[in-house]
Every structure is written in structure tokens, then in C-alpha cells.
Amino acid sequence: MVLQSSKSTPTTKQNAIPSGSNDLIKQSRRTSSPVSKTRKPSNSTKPVQTQPASQKKKKKKPKDAHSSEHDQSTTTAFHEPIRRLIKPASQLELSAQELGEVVTRVLTGDDPDVPKNVCKFSFKDKCYKPDPPGQGDNMATHFSIQGSSMHVDSEECKKYREREGAFGEQMPKATNPDANGKVASETQTTTTSSATSTAGKTMKTDHIKNQFNYSDRASQTFNNPLKSRGVHTEPPPKTQFSEQVTQWMIYDSYKDECIINMMEHKQDSGSRNVSFEDKLASIVLEKGEAAHDKSDMMHSKDMAIALKIIGRLVNQNAEDEIFQDFKYYEDKADTIKPGQGTLLPLWRFSTERTNRKQVTSLCWNPLYNDLFAVGYGSYEFTRQGVGMVCCYSLKNTSYPEYVIGTESGVMCLDFHKHHPSLLAVGCYDGTVSLYDIGNRSNKPIYSSSIRSGKHSDPIWQVRWNEGGSSKEMNFYSISSDGKVAMWTMSKNEMKMEPVMLLKLANNVSTEDLEETTLTGLAGGCSFDFNTSRDNLFLVGTEEAIFTNVPRHTVANIFISCSADWIIKIWDHKSTQCLLHFDLGNAVGDVCWSPYSSTVFAAVTTDGRVHVFDLAQNKREPLCSQKVVRKARLTRASFNSKDYILIVGDDRGVVHSLKLSPNLRKLCFADDETKDEECENELGNADVQRMKMMRLLASIDKKYVQ
């Protein structure tokens, strides 16, 4: 359209601009359209190029003049470079007139570069044909945009108007604020006019939704406040457990298991009384006890042993002199005075608890030579009380090793020869009990009761029957109720078997004493077994006045003592006594010495101890020594190995006495053989027997062999 307008007025323009081509070009440039631009480089270059050249020429003229001036004034090489215009040879030389002539130029819409002789192959005619120039040859599109405007008169616009009339809207105005100005304004005017014409309709169409006219609208509903709720359950109960696993622990465990298995197996083969659990429980219990013992050091067994040893050490240090005497002292007076001996008092054994009791029995332990048991009770009917058994050791003389309390006064006791911890005890109330002193408990293993049978009167002697052929252990007891009973230990009870009643009128047994030919029931006082024949034993009774009948090593000899001051020695085959001694006081006890057949000791109520050696003196005691001042002596007993005699008194004290060398001669005083030889000889028993036989022979011709 623009080109059209410029084309329409070419002459006017050319006339209006007389100033020169330069200005014209400028003008054309200003008014140039995109189409005209394309043509410019080709046509208008020449004038543009020439113009500056001419301008330069004009400008440089003064400069040249100046430079020439400069050349003249300064002939040195330091002048400015000389500028020279070099004209192309083809340049026209124009005069001033020619230069002032106006050349008109006409711009056409044709592109001179567009080829006009284009040939194209025609497939229809099968030959090349020149392409006739088309409409679009000279057109080049530089920019295109799809517009929303439409021509007022166009069909499209008419349709739009109709629609718009129906809706009564003015939207084109709002939607096209900046489109191509001219057309937009045109449409605007039309719409405004239409708007006025359709003003009445607009009210109707207000409610119709316009898809372009919308607005965002937001609303928020009420948010419920948040709550947090947690539940925590109780965690499962936990335990702590720590252990170690090692190869040896595994081995040990399996070993224990194996032992248990084996024990169980044994039990299975025997009786199935105890279940496995019980077994396990007992084992655990044992282990627990052991652990308990370990933990309590003060009351542990090790501690007890240690304390015992320390106690003995202290005691031996305190009584060092007595211990020295016990071992080494020999009375030198014996060598000067043959036929006389002395007793050296060593220890006194007593405790506070036995002060008011009488020593009623003494018994050396057959295995441990230093251990002896003492029974405490009372001989007096009116002063009966609880009894006691104390076991003393020569190693600890200040306090008994074992103390056992009994309900009734102890009258007699005896150790078993082969089971040295078994102690049979006879009491004043007629009960017999069996204690295991190693057990350290105060309770008897067995005790006689009315059900098992018991004596009704005090028991005067108990004695184990070692030579019995039966497997079960048994002991005999004698009581003043006139009965002799045998007590047999079976598995879990002690059975009483009455052996005999000491009937005075009858001849009780052929083996019994010939003297007991009295009427009535005799109260037994003592008895003893024959050393060589088990089925023989002696009984001493009250009526026969014997109170003690210890048996001699020589089978048929025995000794008796009684309260009538007299000691008699008998042969059980004769009713006449062989020897008798009057001691001038009631004799409490008499006992043969274990090492010499002719030595015996007797204790009397005036507190004297009389020791006889018939081999040395057949009438008088070798030694008659007062041991206690006021008390009465009740019992005496020789130690089987050491030359020690212990005597008990009625104040609860036991005295130990050492025999002087004269009192322990093993051979006859006038015999040539020495004591040592006698001791060394294996046939010591034979020597002793010979000694006794020789003694008897001297008494009675009957014994001469």
C-alpha cells in the first residue's frame, strides 16, 4: 500500500527535493518499505560510494594545502604521510555543469535480480519450457502475522455482527487492545456503533457465561485441630543371663551327666524309689551346701580343723613340762628302791560342766591311743541328774574333743574294737544307747526304749561282743534288775535279746559262777568275757559282793573287788580264791594292766591308787599313792600302749598318772631276761602267760605243770 502511494507521487517528490541525489536517497530510505529495501543495495550503491569520495575530496583540500606547506617548511622525513586520490581510469571527468545536472531515477516494483528466462522441464510435453513470469516472482515475505482483525465488509464480519447482536457483547474491544492500530480502531468504531444499537439487548445477555471473563476464587474450609495419641505397651519381661562356653566346661558337664546317668542306672537295677529329679535335687543341694561352706569361712570345716590344731599347739606349749615328763621322765628312785614304785601325776581332765558329777566309767579308745571316753553320772540314788560323755585326748588336755549329753546319768560305756567311733552307753534309767562320736551330733544312732525293750534298773556294764560269729554287731549289758541282755544292731533298729536272768536259787548256766547259788533274783553288777572262749563270760552280782570282775589274759583267772575292802583273785574252776588283799578302804575299781600279766591297779574311796605287781610282791602293793585329797576314786583304766593310768573321782575329775619303771616290769624281777627282750619278742603273750603260771605255781601246787 505504501509503495502504491509513493509510486503515485513520483514526480512531486522529485520536484520537491532539488538538493541532490544524496538527499533523495535519504528520502527514499526514510520512506522505504520492506520491499524497497531489497532493491536498495543493488541500485543505490553507486551514488553512496561516490558521494563520500567527493566529500573527502573537498575536505582534504585544505589538508593537502597544509601538508604542502608543511613539506615546504620542513624538509625532514618526519612529515605526515601524503594522501593521494587515485581515480579509476574509467571515471568520468565531469564539468561543473554536468555535476549540477539532476538525474532522475524511478523506483519500480520489479526486482532486477529476478531471472526472467527460467526454463522448467515439463513432464507433460517432455521438454524444457520457459517459465512465464508469475505473480510471486517479485515478492519476498519478510514478516507475517495472523491477525484477529477482519474486514468490515467481509462475510466473516457480517456473521460476527449477527452473533454479536445476539449476545450484545463488546468483547472485541477488550480483547484487541494493541493489534494493528488502524484496523483495530476501525473495528472499534464499528463495535461502538453496534454497541449503541444493541444497548437494549445487553441487559438480557448479561447472564450468559463468557468463557474469557472469569476470576479465581478460593475458599478454605475449617480445619479440624490435629491430635496426637500414642500407646505404649509393656515390654516383654527380660532377664539377664551370662555364661561361658569352653571345651573343658562342656567336658565337665558331660562327665557329671555321665555320673548321674550311671548312678541312675544303678538305682534302676536296684530299686526305683528315688526319681531322677530327686537325685538331681540332692546333688544340687550338696553342691549348694559346699558352696555355702566355702562362702562362710569362719564356720567352715577347714577353719574348724585349723582352730583345732592351733588349740592343741597352744595347749602343748602351755603344758610343755608335763608333756616332757609324759615322754621322758623316769623316777630315778626306782633304781635305788627295788620293789617300790611311784606314780607321777600328769594332767587333770575336767570341765566346768562336769564339776558336780561323778566319773562312773572310763574307756580307752582301741584305735587312737590318746583318746578316752569318760562317763559322768551319779552312784547315789538321791542325786541323779543328766549324764554326760566326754571324750578327751592327751593332745588337748584342757577341753574334751567330743561332748555328748544324755538324759540320765551315764553308768558305763564301751568302744567297739573294730569300729572305734562306736560307743555303747548304759544309763542309770536302764536305757542303752549307741553313739557315733565321729558324727558330732548329740543324738544316739540307736537308743533303747520301752518298745524295743530296756532294763528297768541301772545298767552297770556294757561290753561289745567282738568275737561273735554273726555279722551283725552286738553288745551285752547287765543291770541290777537281774537281767543280762544282748543288743543286736540290725539295719535300722537295735533289738534286745534277753540272755539270762540271774536267778539266785538256780544254777543259771553251767558256765555261770558257782558262787551264785543263792535264791532270788540277783542284781548284776559287772561281767566280762573270757578272752579265749567267746561263749564264756563272768557275771558279778550284788549278792556275791563283787562289783567288778575284770578278766585276765590268762583264760581262767579273774580278779574281783568290792566295797568290803578286799580284792580277790580267782580261778573260775575253783570256788576258793587264790589270793586276796585287804586295802583298808572300799575298793572302787580294779583293773589288770594290758602289758603285764601280773600287774593290776585298784582305786579306793580314800583317794589312793594301789598298784600291784604279783611277780615282785605277792602281798603288798608296789605303790600306794594318794592322788586326790578329799574326793573318792571311782574308776581306773590302763592305757594299752603308754604306761599311763587314768583314774576318775566323784568330783568329775579324771587324773592321769605315769607309772614308774618298777611298776611296769614285764618279766620277773629275778629273771635273767631283760624287759626289752620281753618286749621285742613276738611271743610276749606267751611270756606273760608263763609268768602268771609261774606265779600260780608258787601259790598252789595244783598249777605246777
Partner 1 sequence: MRKQEQEMAKFSPRVTIDEEEFQRCTKKPLVKYSDMPTEMGNEAVEVCTMALDKFQNSRDYEGASVLIKNTLDKKFGNSWNCVVGEGFGFDINCQQKYLLHLYYGKVGMLCYKS
- Of residues 178-217, those binding partner 1 (CB under 8 A): none
Complex with partner 1: residue 62 or 235, whichever CB lies closer: 235
Complex with partner 1: residue 99 or 245, whichever CB lies closer: 245
Size of site (CB under 8 A) for partner 1: 26
Site string for partner 1, 559-588 (x = CB under 8 A): ------------------------------
Q: What is the nearest approach in angstroms of partner 1 to the Cβ of residue 447?
A: 24
Q: What is the nearest approach in angstroms of partner 1 to the Cβ of residue 415?
A: 15
| 14: its cell numbers | 522529485
Q: What is the nearest approach in angstroms of partner 1 to the Cβ of residue 441?
A: 15
Complex with partner 1: residue 254 or 276, whichever CB lies closer: 254
Complex with partner 1: residue 355 or 441, whichever CB lies closer: 441
Closest residue by Cα to residue 591 from 418, 363, 388, 366: 363
Q: What is the nearest approach in angstroms of partner 1 to the Cβ of residue 285?
A: 14
Question: Are the beta carbons of 151 and 182 closer than 8 angstroms?
Answer: no
Q: What is the nearest approach in angstroms of partner 1 to the Cβ of residue 705?
A: 45
Complex with partner 1: residue 264 or 543, whichever CB lies closer: 264
- Of residues 404-443, those binding partner 1 (CB under 8 A): 438
CA distance 70 to 340: 185
- CA distances (Å), origin 346, targets 99, 309, 353, 636, 654: 181, 21, 21, 15, 11
Q: What is the nearest approach in angstroms of partner 1 to the Cβ of residue 422?
A: 15
Complex with partner 1: residue 290 or 307, whichever CB lies closer: 290
Q: What is the nearest approach in angstroms of partner 1 to the Cβ of residue 400?
A: 16
Q: What is the nearest approach in angstroms of partner 1 to the Cβ of residue 266?
A: 11
Please, is 462 exposed, middle or buried when counting C-beta atoms within 10 Å of its C-beta (0-12, 13-18, 19+)? buried
| 610: its cell numbers | 594301789
CA distance 119 to 129: 5
Q: What is the nearest approach in angstroms of partner 1 to the Cβ of residue 302?
A: 9
Site string for partner 1, 29-58 (x = CB under 8 A): ------------------------------
The DSSP call for residue 36 is H
The b/e string for 80-111 (b: 16+ C-beta within 10 A; e otherwise) is: eeeeeeeeeeeeeeeeeeeeeeeeeeebeeee
Complex with partner 1: residue 195 or 403, whichever CB lies closer: 403
Complex with partner 1: residue 385 or 420, whichever CB lies closer: 420
Q: What is the nearest approach in angstroms of partner 1 to the Cβ of residue 280?
A: 12
**Cα Rg of the chain (Å, integer):** 79
The DSSP call for residue 339 is T
Please, is 191 exposed, middle or buried when counting C-beta atoms within 10 Å of its C-beta (0-12, 13-18, 19+)? buried
Closest residue by Cα to residue 608 from 571, 667, 657: 657
Residue 626 engages partner 1 in binding (rule: CB under 8 A): no
The DSSP call for residue 403 is E
Q: What is the nearest approach in angstroms of partner 1 to the Cβ of residue 407?
A: 28
SS3 327: helix
- Of residues 261-280, those binding partner 1 (CB under 8 A): 261-262
Site string for partner 1, 220-259 (x = CB under 8 A): ----------------xxxxxxxxxxxx-xx--xxx-xxx
Residues 6+ apart with CB under 8 A from 624: 608, 609, 610, 611
Complex with partner 1: residue 240 or 269, whichever CB lies closer: 240
Complex with partner 1: residue 4 or 247, whichever CB lies closer: 247
SS3 42: helix
H or E element, residue 691: helix 684-699
Closest residue by Cα to residue 475 from 547, 528, 404, 406: 528
Complex with partner 1: residue 204 or 299, whichever CB lies closer: 299
Site string for partner 1, 290-329 (x = CB under 8 A): x----------x---x------------------------
What residues line the site for partner 1 (CB under 8 A)?
Answer: 236-247, 249-250, 253-255, 257-259, 261-262, 290, 301, 305, 438
